[in-house]
Structure 1
Amino acid sequence: MRPVQRHTLLLGSLLLGLSTAYPLQAAPLSDFEQFRSYPYMDRSYREAKKGNWKEVERLMRHLLEKVPKNDEARALLVESLAKQRRYKDAIQALPKDNSEAVLDLRLTWIEQDPPSSTQVEQWMATSDLNDRVRLWQAYSLSLAKFGGAAKAHDWLAQLSPKGDENILRLARANWSEQLRDWSGTIGELAPLAARKQLDAEGWQRLANAYVQRLDEKPLQQLLQQAPDPQAARKVRLAMVDRAIAMGHDQQAQRWLQSLPAADLADPAQRQRLWELARQTDDVPTVQRLSNDLQRPCLETTEWLSRHDPEAALTQLRQCQPSEDPQAWLVLAQRLQATDLLQSTRLPEPWDSRRQAQLVDVWQEQGESSKVMVWLAGQTQTPAVVKRRAELAQRMGRRTEEQTLWEYHYRQTGNLASLNQASFLALQSGDRAHARQLLENAYDRHGARLPPVALQRLAGLYASSKDITPAQQRRMASLISHIDGATRGQLLAQLAETGQCDAVQQAIGSHPQAAGDYRALARCAMPDRPGEAVVYYQQAEKLGDRSSRLPLAYALEAAGDSTGALAIWRSIPAAELTDNARLTASRSALNAGDNQAAERFWQQSSTRGANEWSLGAAIADARGDHAEALQRQRRALQIAPDAGHFYAASVSAQKAGDLAQSDAWLAEAVRRDPANPRYRADYGMRLSGAPSREERATAIPYLQQATRDFPEDYHLGETLAWRYDEIEDSASARKELRRVIDLEQNPVAADDEDGSMEARRYRQRRAHEALSRRDNFTIASTWSPAGVSTNDFLRDDDSQGSNRSPNSQNVQVAMWDHALGEEPSRAGSSLSVYGRVLLGGQSRTRYAESVAAGVGLRYKPWGTQNINFYGEIYKQSQFDDKDNHGLSLGQLINPDKLSDQLDDHRQDGHTTTDYLLRATASFLDQGKYRNDWRVDESEWDERFLYLDAAWWTKAGDHQWLSRFQQGHTWKLPLNGAQTIMPYGFLEFASQDPSNDWRQDLRTGVGLRWQWWYDDDRYNAYRSKLTVRTEYQQSLGGNLYEGGNGVLLGVEWNF
Structure 2
Amino acid sequence: MKRPWPTRFALALFAMAPAWPLCAVAQEQAGGATRYQQFMVYPHRQAGYAALRAGDERTAIAEFERARALAPQSIDTALDLAEAYRHFGHAAQAQKVLDDQRRYTPGDPRLLALKPIAAAVDCSRDNRPVCRAQRGFADLQSSELAKAQAELDAPDFARSPEGLALRHALVQRAIYLGDDARAEAQLAALDAAGKLSADERTQWFNLLLKLGRVDAARQLQARGGLDAPAQDLAIAQTLSNSGDRKALASYMVSRQPPFANERDEAQWLNLLAATARDHPELLTRYAPHYPANAALQARLALPLAMARGDSATAGHMLSRLPKESFREDRFSLDLQQGRYTEARQQAEALIAQPEGHRLLDPLSYRLMEAGARGEAKQLLLAAYPFAGNSGSAALFSRLAVLAGEQPALFSADDRTRLRRPLESAPLRMAQIPILSALRDCDGIRQVMADLSPDYPADLWRQLGDCYGNDHPGLAEYAYAEANKRKPDSDVTRALAYQAYSAQDYATAMQAWRSVPVAHMKTTDLIAAATTALTVDQPSVARAWLDTYVAQGGRQDHTYWWLRAQADEAHDPALARADLENAVATHPDPRYYARLATLQSHAGETQQSLASLQRASVLAPEDSKLAASLGYAYLQAGAPDKAAVQFERAHQANPDDPALTRQLLYVHQQLGDNAEARTYAAQAIDQLGPSDNSTATGGKAQEDEDEQRYTLRRLHEDLGRKWRFNADMTLGDTVSSAANTAAPGVSYRSYMQLEAQYRLDPHLTGGDINTLAAYARIFAGSGASGAVWPVHAPMLGVGMHWKPLLSQNIVLSVEQQTPMSNNRNTRNDTMLRAAGSWSFGPKLSDDWHATGTGWFSQNFYVDIARYLRAKQTVFTADYQLGWHRKIFGGQTVEPYVHLQYTGIDRSHGAGYARDARIGFGLQWNLWYGETRYDAYPHRFSIAVEGQHAFTSYLHENNAVFLIARTQW
Taking structure 2 as the reference length, the TM-score comes to 0.53
Letter in 2 for 1:504: D
Q: Which residue of 1 aligns with 2:834?
A: 920
Deviation at 1:771, TM superposition (A): 1.0
Q: 1:375-454 maps to which residues of 2 (within 5 A)?
A: 410=336, 440-449=371-380
Matched, 1:680 2:632: no
Deviation at 1:598, TM superposition (A): 5.3
Q: 1:75-154 maps to which residues of 2 (within 5 A)?
A: none
Distance in structure 2 (CA, Å) of the matches to 1:624 and 1:673: 31
Q: 1:911 to 1:998 in 2, by over 3 A?
A: closer
Q: 1:920-939 maps to which residues of 2 (within 5 A)?
A: 920-924=834-838, 926-927=840-841, 929-934=844-849
Deviation at 1:717, TM superposition (A): 1.8
Q: 1:990 to 1:461 in 2, by over 3 A?
A: farther
Matched residue count: 630
For the residue of structure 1 that corresponds to 2:585, the secondary structure is: coil
Letter in 1 for 2:668: D
Q: Which runs of 5+ in 2 are unaligned?
A: 1-91, 106-236, 238-258, 271-282, 315-330, 348-364, 381-390, 691-696
Distance in structure 2 (CA, Å) of the matches to 1:565 and 1:998: 77
Q: 1:703 to 1:575 in 2, by over 3 A?
A: same
Q: Which residue of 1 aligns with 2:33?
A: none
Matched, 1:733 2:715: no
Letter in 1 for 2:935: Y
Letter in 1 for 2:630: G
1:537-590 deviations in Å (ceiling 9; x for gaps): 798899999877545534433434345445555666666555445444444544
Deviation at 1:866, TM superposition (A): 3.4
Distance in structure 1 (CA, Å) of the matches to 2:400 and 2:565: 44
CA contact (8 A) 1:612 1:634 kept: yes
Q: Which residue of 1 aligns with 2:639?
A: 695
Deviation at 1:711, TM superposition (A): 0.8
For the residue of structure 2 that corresponds to 1:812, the secondary structure is: strand
Distance in structure 2 (CA, Å) of the matches to 1:937 and 1:722: 34
Q: 1:507 to 1:823 in 2, by over 3 A?
A: same
Matched, 1:1001 2:932: no
1:340-394 deviations in Å (ceiling 9; x for gaps): xx9x99846546877999xxxxxxxxxxxxxxxxx99985689x99xxxxxxxxx
Matched, 1:1013 2:962: no
Distance in structure 2 (CA, Å) of the matches to 1:739 and 1:790: 38
Letter in 2 for 1:718: Q
Distance in structure 1 (CA, Å) of the matches to 2:655 and 2:344: 63
Q: Which residue of 2 aligns with 1:13?
A: none
Distance in structure 1 (CA, Å) of the matches to 2:674 and 2:812: 27
Deviation at 1:670, TM superposition (A): 0.9
Distance in structure 1 (CA, Å) of the matches to 2:925 and 2:475: 55
Deviation at 1:732, TM superposition (A): 1.6
Distance in structure 2 (CA, Å) of the matches to 1:791 and 1:702: 42
For the residue of structure 2 that corresponds to 1:440, the secondary structure is: coil
Q: 1:873 to 1:723 in 2, by over 3 A?
A: same
Distance in structure 2 (CA, Å) of the matches to 1:347 and 1:820: 119
Q: 1:377 to 1:634 in 2, by over 3 A?
A: closer
Letter in 1 for 2:377: G
Matched, 1:851 2:782: no
Q: Which residue of 1 aligns with 2:737?
A: 788
Letter in 2 for 1:671: L
Q: Which residue of 2 aligns with 1:815?
A: 755
Q: Which residue of 2 aligns with 1:766?
A: 714
CA contact (8 A) 1:609 1:636 kept: yes
Deviation at 1:774, TM superposition (A): 2.1
Distance in structure 2 (CA, Å) of the matches to 1:854 and 1:960: 20
1:898-957 deviations in Å (ceiling 9; x for gaps): xxxxxxx7x96573423323232154464454434445777775554332334444x242
Q: 1:666 to 1:698 in 2, by over 3 A?
A: same
For the residue of structure 1 that corresponds to 2:654, the secondary structure is: coil
Q: 1:215-614 maps to which residues of 2 (within 5 A)?
A: 322=263, 347=293, 350=296, 410=336, 440-449=371-380, 455-456=396-397, 484-485=428-429, 487-488=431-432, 491=435, 502-504=440-442, 511-512=449-450, 522=465, 525-526=468-469, 529=472, 532=475, 550=494, 552-565=496-509, 567-568=511-512, 577-592=521-536, 604-605=548-549, 606=553, 607-614=555-562
For the residue of structure 2 that corresponds to 1:1019, the secondary structure is: coil
CA contact (8 A) 2:373 2:402 kept: no
Q: 1:617 to 1:572 in 2, by over 3 A?
A: same
Deviation at 1:667, TM superposition (A): 0.8
Deviation at 1:456, TM superposition (A): 4.5
Q: 1:595 to 1:603 in 2, by over 3 A?
A: same
Q: Could you tell me which of 650, 658, 668 is aligned with 2:615?
A: 668
Deviation at 1:710, TM superposition (A): 0.3
Q: Which residue of 1 aligns with 2:767?
A: 826
CA contact (8 A) 2:756 2:772 kept: no
Q: Which residue of 1 aligns with 2:186?
A: none
For the residue of structure 2 that corresponds to 1:776, the secondary structure is: strand
CA contact (8 A) 1:1023 1:1051 kept: yes
Q: 1:516 to 1:769 in 2, by over 3 A?
A: farther
Deviation at 1:782, TM superposition (A): 4.9
Distance in structure 2 (CA, Å) of the matches to 1:929 and 1:994: 41
Q: Which runs of 5+ in 1 are unaligned?
A: 1-281, 296-316, 330-341, 358-374, 386-404, 419-433, 496-501, 795-799, 877-904
CA contact (8 A) 1:868 1:919 kept: yes
Letter in 1 for 2:716: E
Q: 1:767 to 1:452 in 2, by over 3 A?
A: same
CA contact (8 A) 2:902 2:914 kept: yes
Q: Percent identity?
A: 18
Letter in 1 for 2:861: L
CA contact (8 A) 1:770 1:823 kept: no
For the residue of structure 1 that corresponds to 2:932, the secondary structure is: coil
CA contact (8 A) 2:738 2:901 kept: no
CA contact (8 A) 2:926 2:939 kept: yes
1:413-470 deviations in Å (ceiling 9; x for gaps): 789999xxxxxxxxxxxxxxx99966934245324259666654676699x9xx9986
Distance in structure 1 (CA, Å) of the matches to 2:873 and 2:369: 105
Matched, 1:866 2:780: no
Distance in structure 2 (CA, Å) of the matches to 1:640 and 1:472: 49
Distance in structure 1 (CA, Å) of the matches to 2:461 and 2:665: 51
Distance in structure 2 (CA, Å) of the matches to 1:285 and 1:1003: 155
Letter in 1 for 2:903: S
Deviation at 1:1024, TM superposition (A): 3.8
Over the aligned positions, Cα root-mean-square deviation in angstroms equals 5.7
Distance in structure 1 (CA, Å) of the matches to 2:871 and 2:787: 27
CA contact (8 A) 1:1007 1:1028 kept: yes
Deviation at 1:628, TM superposition (A): 3.3
Q: 1:965-1004 maps to which residues of 2 (within 5 A)?
A: 966=880, 971=885, 974-975=888-889, 977=891, 979=893, 981=895, 984=898, 986-991=900-905, 993-1003=907-917
Q: 1:727 to 1:356 in 2, by over 3 A?
A: closer
For the residue of structure 2 that corresponds to 1:855, the secondary structure is: strand
Q: Which has the higher contact order (CA 8 A, sep 6+)?
A: 2
Distance in structure 2 (CA, Å) of the matches to 1:850 and 1:538: 94
Taking structure 1 as the reference length, the TM-score comes to 0.49
Q: Which residue of 2 aligns with 1:636?
A: 583
Letter in 1 for 2:646: L
Deviation at 1:669, TM superposition (A): 0.6
1:87-115 deviations in Å (ceiling 9; x for gaps): xxxxxxxxxxxxxxxxxxxxxxxxxxxxx
Deviation at 1:700, TM superposition (A): 2.0
